[in-house]
A and B are shown apart, each in its own frame.
Chain A
Amino acid sequence: MIGGSVCNEQVSASLIFAEGQELTYDNKEALWEIFEAIGETWKNTIYNSNNQRSSWFEMLKAKTENAPNYTGEYVNAIYVLNELYAEYGKIDAFNKLFFESGVDNSAPPTTRLAHCKIFVVNEFIRMQITAGGFKSWGEANGGEQAKNYHGFLGGTRFNRTPRVRAFDEDPVHSKKENV
């Protein structure tokens, strides 16, 4: 168990009430810190998190401007984080949240902490990987960097470089192109 009275408060498993609320600029900045922490923790930020920001931001808009509305979940996540920051300091707070939360990811969430993990953290992780974090794999043993992933807008294949790690059909005659 991590966190204090806020994290462990019992709440129902359904989406936390959101009507009438809007995310403020500060809310978004606070949520962005979770996103950046994902890349830092798993060391898979490609170039600069900022390059994924517009996609991430679009996801936030889609989740808060349509039903079912996630605004309540996002605000809840900030409460949870604030308590974790206070208790553990920023860096450790994220480590606790990502690795020691004790939350069952496949069960309905019944605490504020579980809501934060399932509706916010887990979804941000999926988004981060999809939007480019996956590129951090492929090269460890001298192979090609991963080029594409479920959900990544790779671009049309009529570009000059392949959109996936492709099988070289004609290795004798193929030339290396600049990426």
Chain B
Amino acid sequence: MKKKYDYVIVGAGVAAATVARGLLLHKHDTSILILEAGPEIKAKDRRFWWDYITRNERPYTYTYDQKWEAASSGNIEYQTDGVRVKAYGGSTMHWGAWSLRFKPEDFNLQTNTGLGADWPFNYEDLESYYNDAESYLSVCGDEKENWVPRSKPYPVPPFQWTAADGEMIKAWEQLDVVYQDGDINPGTSSKIKSGKMPVARYRKCMTTGTCKYCPIGGRFNAQYVLDDLKNDPRFINFEVRINSPVHHVNVSSKSKIESVTFTDNHNGKEHTVAGETVILASGAYNVPKLLRASKNEFWKDGVGNDHDLVGRFVVSHSMLNVVGKAKTNPNGWFQEYDFPTLMSHSYNTKEHQKKGKIFIFKNRTTPNTDIAQLMIDGKSREEIDAIVYGEMEVNIQAFLEEKGKYSNRLEARPGVDRFGLPQTTVHFSRTDEEMENANDRLRILEEILIKMGLEITSSRVDKPGGHHTTGTARMGTLPENSVTDKFMRVHDTDNLYVCSNAAFPTGSAVNPTLTLTALAFRLVEHLTNSSKAIETSKKKQWEYQL
């Protein structure tokens, strides 16, 4: 390990991998050190895969926050246990890779509704980076769709709808999009439009259906990028250290970040390593905790925290969950893909923004019968047939956009987790109005299942799951209302960046990773100061070599 690097990056997930790759392709001998708190867990291992098939075990779940390592307070529980992988590769070890763009209105939430915040730039400013991200993640989408303005088609064709999707598609074709109390009614009517869920899968995907631990690396995993970078003989100054939690960012003056201090978990020794530029890419949970822990004479309440905003405005998605059942499943449908294929943005629009946008999709695991379990339970073939072709459950779900609030905050609490990182507590509450709006949205989903001829068996607004946590070091125009500027640089510093969901001012109604990846591409360009013209011609020649 050197004493000083061009870049020190904290965290080894998709943000770190994407930024490191961009910097290295630009200049091969850039010195970069990535510090990851967690261990490295082998991907594509045959034994791990067989244990997944036969015992439903996955090798990285032990790195999840356990219930005792995270808490929440407020009028609703914020779920942290089980949501993120603390390991080399980060949460892309287990993600479903649903890769959707934010929509133009997501960048102007405050202007449009008076709630939440605006991004310090617009969708158009990020659009070309979305193209880069989709190409790099290998997003499979329908080029005929026009949910968002796009200058390039998807790089790979979409996965087809399943036969079971068909019933919901037909129901949507008969249902008008409704505008509830609090929505803006555009005055024209349209039916709910069916879309194909864009997922990040390489062309080698063998539709194995064990996406959470893919045996052949069919689904993007930041590990693969990091491995390629480590193995590339051109990148001689690229290093990754695992089992190295960073717990302090050190400054030499108010604006100049000098180094980070980390612990080697193998022997407990502390090390300090300097970086010309430091990038925090350790996720919306760890970034705010690290900033606030980094107190010094220039930053009394932690780096970037002069206005006590670090960790505030935390949001994630809540899931709306409605389940219906039909008396029979004559085709004996069961789960065949491990990702949803049917989705709709019909309620993810500007008109629905104030009351609350929802992104609707058909849950991938229904209808389903666990045939193997029935055999294990000693059911005969006839009994199994009766169940497979008998009652059928369908689950329609939606992500509900939450709007950031000053009083909702993610912060450290006393104690460390098993990896040496501070434990977490999330203060999170919803207003009564928000709960009412959420319940109103449930009615929309119920109507769909009723149209399909199903009997509703459950309908609920789930607690927010921390999987899509954003906002805890949000971008904005001024230090008084944000933590980072429009290039994700911490306000009032010269060389400290946050490349993470933490920087998002709004959470939208869709998964954050594609947007994070686009931001990472944009950050690389900012850091390397390449003009767009040079970048484009270089890309034409060497398109996505790795």
Report A's interface with B, CB cutoff 8 A: 38, 41-44, 58-59, 62-63, 66, 98-101, 105, 121-123, 125-130, 133-134, 137-141, 143-144, 146-158, 162-169
B206 in the interface, Cβ–Cβ < 8 Å?
A: yes
A129 & B371 in contact (Cβ 8 Å cutoff): yes
CB distance from A163 to the nearest CB of B (A): 4
CB distance from B94 to the nearest CB of A (A): 15
* A148, B163: Cα distance in complex, Å: 12
12 A-B pairs (CB sep. < 8 Å)? A59-B53, A62-B50, A98-B375, A130-B372, A138-B331, A149-B336, A154-B209, A155-B206, A162-B160, A164-B162, A165-B163, A165-B333
A127 & B53 in contact (Cβ 8 Å cutoff): yes
Selected from B336, B375, B385, the residue in CB contact (under 8 A) with A140 is B385
When C-beta atoms are compared, the residue in chain B nearest to A63 turns out to be B50
B332 & A122 in contact (Cβ 8 Å cutoff): no
B46 in the interface, Cβ–Cβ < 8 Å?
A: yes
A167 & B333 in contact (Cβ 8 Å cutoff): no
Given contacts A43-B381, A141-B330, contact A151 B209 (CB under 8 A): yes
A165 & B388 in contact (Cβ 8 Å cutoff): no
B185 in the interface, Cβ–Cβ < 8 Å?
A: no
A149 & B54 in contact (Cβ 8 Å cutoff): no
CB distance from A166 to the nearest CB of B (A): 5
B246 in the interface, Cβ–Cβ < 8 Å?
A: no
Chain A residues, Cβ within 8 Å of B166: 167-168
Chain A residues, Cβ within 8 Å of B336: 146-149, 163-165
B335 in the interface, Cβ–Cβ < 8 Å?
A: yes
A99 & B380 in contact (Cβ 8 Å cutoff): yes
Chain A residues, Cβ within 8 Å of B538: none
Given contacts A138-B332, A146-B336, A156-B205, contact A167 B389 (CB under 8 A): no
B462 in the interface, Cβ–Cβ < 8 Å?
A: no
CB distance from B383 to the nearest CB of A (A): 10
* A99, B383: Cα distance in complex, Å: 12
A167 & B162 in contact (Cβ 8 Å cutoff): yes
CB distance from A66 to the nearest CB of B (A): 4
B54 & A123 in contact (Cβ 8 Å cutoff): yes
* A41, B205: Cα distance in complex, Å: 33
B54 & A127 in contact (Cβ 8 Å cutoff): yes
Q: Which of A59, A157, A158 has most B Cβ within 10 Å?
A: A157
A149 & B385 in contact (Cβ 8 Å cutoff): no
Report B's interface with A, CB cutoff 8 A: 46-47, 49-50, 52-55, 159-166, 169, 203-210, 215, 330-338, 371-372, 375-378, 380-381, 384-385, 388-389
CB distance from A164 to the nearest CB of B (A): 4
B162 & A166 in contact (Cβ 8 Å cutoff): yes
Selected from B47, B160, B209, the residue in CB contact (under 8 A) with A63 is B47
A165 & B381 in contact (Cβ 8 Å cutoff): no
Chain B residues, Cβ within 8 Å of A130: 53, 372
Given contacts A137-B334, A143-B330, A167-B165, contact A62 B207 (CB under 8 A): no
A150 & B46 in contact (Cβ 8 Å cutoff): no
B389 & A141 in contact (Cβ 8 Å cutoff): yes
Chain B residues, Cβ within 8 Å of A163: 207, 336
Q: Which of A38, A98, A121, A163 has most B Cβ within 10 Å?
A: A163
When C-beta atoms are compared, the residue in chain A nearest to B210 turns out to be A151
Selected from B47, B208, B377, the residue in CB contact (under 8 A) with A152 is B208
When C-beta atoms are compared, the residue in chain A nearest to B56 turns out to be A126
Q: Which of B334, B338, B371 has most A Cβ within 10 Å?
A: B371
Chain B residues, Cβ within 8 Å of A162: 160
* A169, B170: Cα distance in complex, Å: 11
A151 & B334 in contact (Cβ 8 Å cutoff): no
**Smallest CB-CB A-B distances: 9 pairs:** A143-B331, A148-B336, A154-B207, A123-B54, A167-B166, A164-B336, A165-B163, A167-B161, A163-B207
Chain A residues, Cβ within 8 Å of B331: 138, 141, 143-144, 165
A100 & B163 in contact (Cβ 8 Å cutoff): no
* A148, B53: Cα distance in complex, Å: 14
* A157, B378: Cα distance in complex, Å: 35
A152 & B209 in contact (Cβ 8 Å cutoff): yes
B50 & A129 in contact (Cβ 8 Å cutoff): no
Chain B residues, Cβ within 8 Å of A43: 381
When C-beta atoms are compared, the residue in chain B nearest to A43 turns out to be B381
Q: Which of A41, A42, A121 has most B Cβ within 10 Å?
A: A42
* A107, B331: Cα distance in complex, Å: 34
Given contacts A130-B53, A150-B335, contact A100 B207 (CB under 8 A): no
A154 & B206 in contact (Cβ 8 Å cutoff): yes
Selected from A62, A98, A122, the residue in CB contact (under 8 A) with B47 is A62
When C-beta atoms are compared, the residue in chain A nearest to B53 turns out to be A151
B46 & A166 in contact (Cβ 8 Å cutoff): no
* A38, B381: Cα distance in complex, Å: 11
Chain B residues, Cβ within 8 Å of A148: 207, 209, 336-337
Chain A residues, Cβ within 8 Å of B334: 134, 137, 146, 149
A166 & B163 in contact (Cβ 8 Å cutoff): yes
B378 & A101 in contact (Cβ 8 Å cutoff): yes
B54 & A126 in contact (Cβ 8 Å cutoff): yes
Chain A residues, Cβ within 8 Å of B209: 148-152, 154
A164 & B207 in contact (Cβ 8 Å cutoff): yes
Chain B residues, Cβ within 8 Å of A42: 375, 381, 384
CB distance from B365 to the nearest CB of A (A): 9
Q: Which of B46, B333, B334, B376 has most A Cβ within 10 Å?
A: B376
When C-beta atoms are compared, the residue in chain A nearest to B206 turns out to be A153
When C-beta atoms are compared, the residue in chain B nearest to A65 turns out to be B47
A125 & B337 in contact (Cβ 8 Å cutoff): no
CB distance from B133 to the nearest CB of A (A): 22
